[in-house]
Chain A
């Protein structure tokens, strides 16, 4: 049997992507396509008192103006559901305004230009109420949720942290702030909807095809078997395309009314308000340690934004429950209810910002103890999950730290800040650990032999840039013992077997394991000389006891070197290395890309990203890519990622763990720790822009 799984195979969808032939949601070619443009609310909290769309309707080429006054009936929104992304998402269903930028009208016209202008011509008056927009306001409304977004307890307590802090030789008690952030994937949210008789087809940029399928069907009160959702190519998701938004629902409603296909695309500016974002947080970390660096207490408490319009509890303190040993422990998370747009999952929800705080606090402790931060981490390596008291499935954090230190040349680092000046640059190194919960979800896959050497794989899974198409082809080729070129992978269609989709780094393992099961079943029948042509098998996977018996995480260690300009405080990344334990790697090339991409996201959260709120208006201010900074080429020097050879037998039959979010976890803290090492600036409010570094430069 040819060894294909894990090999650094070029993406099988690469040709389509480099030739412009890959069809994204806004690329659908269809006859008589009409163009929709959304108008959005210019107040944050209140209600519409009047709408005058007469001028908009008079514009040449305008086909319809839909507002809450004439929108078709839809299923009502519900606050809770087992699958929150499958909930009805009614649009223009009331005069109520719950956040700035909420869609208040849809214009459909013969051309994009006419629709855009007409949307701007709609005159709306509002009654504005006083909303709450400031996460730090003295009179803020704080909630104590029982559980976080994934249903885990919001708080935990073991031993007595207060006594541990009082009696410890050395302590750290620091508060960190992380800002609002936006996914800003390159592809704006887009949908093209078309009705053929009573059958609705929606091409939409969504990560979860089945959730979108149910959401659209229920919202429109149409039987699910009359709705198909297609998402063959998605221009990035990062969690921002887990939900369905107004583009899909409004396109579907308008297409039904007009009896012709309608395309609706959010503008880049609209994405900042209409879609979810990562909520801001304030995090307090307390560490208690003996003089030799043994942690006696660890506490992590967070306060983060939730929206009045929909609740979201980001599991910010989750990584702190499993990363280090300590007898006295406390974690807690609260939310502040604001009338801002709705927060949601963004790449590694929880770990991404929780580790910005925890892993900087560990560095602060190392400085206080005058101890190497790697040694400090090794000293507090737990033998079992410190809160659940169950074994880890696999845990190679120590190897990640040690191998990374060796490769990066950590021994060249001076512990003293400001000791390494190279010309104008103060140069420093930082390290941080990565941990990310490993998740398996129920999934199904179908594989069919087309001939003795070719097969077709079908799943409603999506490839949001993660490499799904390619790794599934590798699995099928290896197990069925056929050439890679003989495998056709069909994804992103609601008629295919149901998978959890792309999110939470569970896609590759869940879908891959289901496909492995299908292929093994099919191979057994082929070996009995059935088929081959037309022979097919279904495979399944669902999480079993292994997820209760073992604490499952992926791990990593980040090493960053930065330069800080001694005069201006400009921070520039010079090089970076990540060493990861993500279980078995399914494609060395695409996994490396995922890990590097995640690391750069971490750098971005440390240095750049900040969606600023104007608390007078309740709106985000820097709502475009000129003012909301993500890294550009020049910000990214040599970044390398290495995966350890690991097989996690408890994770799934493939032995793989999630890799898509691992890279961001802790990466930003390695950068902030490197900044401290470079120049002595300990900045606890992200992003670390030069204005926060300057005061330390003297």
Chain B
């Protein structure tokens, strides 16, 4: 005796309008593909990461994130979404925080990149790293390298007077209030929701940083 589920399933199978669906993806402009040149080969890319220049031969499609993770063994930087929607891949490029998943490695030739692996001096943690440990500013730790690099970049943006949306008046220099820190760190998602502790860590670390 078939159970109810199986019976219903069979009924659905026989009474439903079965239609063949071509899974051809609905792409634009097939003519572009037709005129596509032969598959291109690798290109040479020199990447300066954490003070070392690495000579790489890469598929041009390789992002900065994948170049570091798959080719340089620098797996501290994480891939959380690969689309600039979570911030886990944040690194410092010429001192400015960026999403490394949305940058081609080739377009970063000539830039100075610093990752989570490059923040500490030997065994001495960067003040931001130490503050994160002390404030329990993480749980699973996966977003943490991105949060820390982002926080370091954010402190420098505050010092440069880059405005944020919480400012009522852009003319005065931003203060680094908790509201400012929360807004400015909003590009770094933490699903464990360590947010209150992350903000506390950043404020503790930046108060220890001469401005």
Contact = CB atoms under 8 A, between A and B. Distances in A.
A/B contact in complex, CB under 8 angstroms? yes
B54 interface: no
B18 to A, nearest CB: 6
Nearest to B73: A29
Contacts of B181: 633
Nearest to B81: A268
B140 A186 contact: yes
Given A14-B132, A624-B81, A636 B21 contact: no
A451 interface: no
B20 interface: yes
Interface in B10-63: 12-13, 15-25, 39, 59, 61-62
Contacts of B88: 186
Interface in A92-146: 111-114, 117, 120, 123-132, 141, 143
Given A43-B21, A130-B16, A187-B78, A626 B85 contact: yes
Contact of A636 (B25, B78, B117, B182): B182
B96 interface: no
Contacts of A46: 18, 21
Given A130-B15, A597-B194, 14 more contacts: A11-B133, A20-B76, A24-B142, A42-B21, A43-B21, A113-B66, A123-B23, A132-B12, A185-B140, A186-B191, A187-B78, A187-B142, A237-B140, A337-B8
A208 interface: no
Interface in B179-211: 181-183, 185-199
A236 B19 contact: no
B8 A638 contact: no
A186 B75 contact: no
Interface in B108-142: 115-117, 119-120, 125, 129-130, 132-134, 136, 138-142
Q: Which of B13, B116, B196 has the most CB of A within 10 A?
A: B196
A19 B126 CA distance: 9
A124 B132 CA distance: 48
Given A187-B78, A308-B9, A634-B186, A593 B139 contact: yes
Interface in A337-369: 337
A274 to B, nearest CB: 15
A590 B23 CA distance: 48
Contacts, number: 230
A624 B86 CA distance: 10
Interface string A622-634: 0011100011111
B139 A594 contact: yes
10 contacts: A20-B115, A42-B21, A43-B21, A113-B59, A113-B61, A125-B23, A233-B141, A235-B143, A465-B139, A633-B182
A127 B8 contact: no
- Across the A-B interface, the 7 shortest Cβ-Cβ residue pairs: A20-B76, A235-B142, A465-B140, A465-B139, A17-B141, A130-B16, A600-B193
Interface string A259-300: 000000101100000000000000000000000000000000
Given A24-B142, A235-B140, A464-B140, A593 B194 contact: yes
Nearest to B199: A633
A117 B25 CA distance: 13
Contacts of A183: 191
